Amino acid sequence: LFAQPCAFLKGVADLSGLPASDLPEIAFCGRSNVGKSSLVNALTGRKTLARTSNTPGRTQEINLFYLGPEGTPRLMLADLPGHGFARAPKAKVDAWTRLVNAYLKGRPPLRRVLLLVDSRHGLKAVDRTVMGMLDGAAVNYQVVLTKADKPASAAVQRVHEATRAALAEHVAAHPDVLVTSSETGAGLPDLRAALGEIALP
Ligand code: GDP
């Protein structure tokens, strides 16, 4: 699945731009600066895949990518715009919420959302808000801790435990929390395996 470079399909700013698709789809979301672009890049081995900038003011888009052999993709990857800008204007937050809610509720091939959380910070209020949206849309989701460059460290363990405990009250959450680092590659095989289970054979 990850041997071939994945191909950018398109960026969409509203639901009407989403192409019809039969491919199982997996979406990545997380607070701005959580390490989403780095993780997607590390997973796919493609450096310029996702733009690392999440410049405030830029149009928020969902970027779609094909994963798998050229011509016979096996999985669609949806890169959702980052949430929780510091000092984000209300209009921007509202636009984000509208776009993501519409996507979560109106995208039949969506199989799982990966909610990225910085392993050094744990769940923030805005993450819990997003988890509420995911529960409400009844979309299966899984928390992925990022930047766990020392996965055995006591701090990461604490955040891991606290995150797992917090998930118990969220109906749509996958009970397993993945612990990853784009820098060291830690946890990437597990993440690839999770994606491989969702992809077409
Ligand atoms: P995005 O805004 O969520 O797409 O985040 P980026 O991928 O652009 O990363 C944000 C910052 O975190 C950058 O300065 C990255 O170098 C850093 N970063 C990303 N992944 C890792 C990681 O695995 N370990 C460490 N230590 N830093 C990371």
Q: Which domains does the chain have, with CATH numbers?
A: 7-198 (3.40.50.300)
pLDDT at res. 5: 67
Ligand 1 atom closest to Cα of 181? Answer: 23
Site residues for ligand 1, CB cut-off 6 Å? 30, 32-38, 52, 54, 82, 146-147, 149, 181-183
Name which of 25-29, 53-57, 70-74 the model is least confident about. Answer: 53-57
* Mean pLDDT score of the chain: 90
Ligand 1 center to 35 CA (angstroms): 4
Ligand 1 center to 118 CA (angstroms): 9
| Cα–Cα dist 175/163, whole Å | 10
Checking if the pLDDT of 13 tops 50, the result is yes
pLDDT at res. 69: 87
Of 161 and 2, the structure prediction assigns the larger pLDDT to 161
pLDDT in tens, 92-133: 889 999 999 999 999 999 999 999 999 999 999 999 999 999
Token pair for 84? 């929780």
Contacts of residue 112, Cβ cutoff 8 Å, sequence gap at least 6: 26, 27, 139, 140, 141, 142, 174, 194, 198
> What band does 148 get if pLDDT is binned at 50, 70 and 90?
very high
Query: Smallest Cα–Cα separation from 116: which of 43, 194, 54, 27?
Result: 27
SS (H, E, C) 146-201: ECCCCCCCHHHHHHHHHHHHHHCCCCCECCCCEECCCCCCCCHHHHHHHHHHHCCC
Checking if the pLDDT of 83 tops 90, the result is no
pLDDT at res. 88: 79
Checking if the pLDDT of 2 tops 70, the result is yes
Checking if the pLDDT of 54 tops 70, the result is no
pLDDT at res. 51: 54
> Are the C-beta atoms of 117 and 152 separated by less than 8 Å?
no
Ligand 1 atom closest to Cα of 30? Answer: 3
Rounded percentage of the chain residues whose pLDDT exceeds 90:
70
Checking if the pLDDT of 52 tops 60, the result is no
- Number of other CB atoms surrounding residue 161 within 10 Å: 12
16 phi and psi angles, rounded to 5 deg:
-65, -20
Query: What average pLDDT does this structure show over 48-67?
Result: 67
> What band does 53 get if pLDDT is binned at 50, 70 and 90?
very low
> Are the C-beta atoms of 111 and 24 separated by less than 8 Å?
yes
Checking if the pLDDT of 167 tops 80, the result is yes
| Cα–Cα dist 35/8, whole Å | 19
| Cα–Cα dist 49/117, whole Å | 20
pLDDT at res. 59: 67
- Number of other CB atoms surrounding residue 152 within 10 Å: 9
Checking if the pLDDT of 57 tops 80, the result is no
Checking if the pLDDT of 81 tops 50, the result is yes
> Are the C-beta atoms of 64 and 76 separated by less than 8 Å?
yes
Residue type, 107: R
Ligand 1 center to 183 CA (angstroms): 9
